[in-house]
Amino acid sequence: MAEDSPKRRKANFNEAETEVLIEQVLKHEQLLFAAGPGRASPGQKRKVWELIRHKVNPVAACPRDVEDLKKRWRDLKRRDRSKLCRLSQGCGPPGPPALGLLLAPEELPPAPPA
């Protein structure tokens, strides 16, 4: 009977999950993303992602697998990169109203002195 039911999507990442993910990925960033001759093997990277998964799952709304964590990390990087691009105005003029909708108040650039 369960085989006939449509696949349901997982719950969104909550704030605690995201914080643990960011903390752990940054802690192991050199091992996961280093390039060149000193980089880690795929097996070592898989073990690190499993370690991160074991740290995230206790605070998770639902069990996460490694692919969920990798996708969330890519999405976070992409979102932050686009915010930085808008802030530096390198990707076209982001008019002030649009900028205020996309960014939290603490992320807004400082106002020019009057």
| 74 vs 8: CA distance, rounded Å | 22
The reported pLDDT for the residue numbered 95 is: 45
97, burial (CB in 10 Å: exposed 0-12, middle 13-18, buried 19+): exposed
pLDDT digits (tens, 9 = 90+) for 46-102: 999 999 999 999 999 899 999 999 999 999 999 888 877 777 765 554 444 444 444
Q: Sorting pLDDT into bands at 50, 70 and 90, what band is 8? A: confident
Average pLDDT, the chain: 81
For residues 38-43, give the mean pLDDT: 90
- Collapsing DSSP states into helix, strand and coil, what is residue 98? helix
For residues 11-31, give the mean pLDDT: 93
Domain ranges of the chain: 13-85
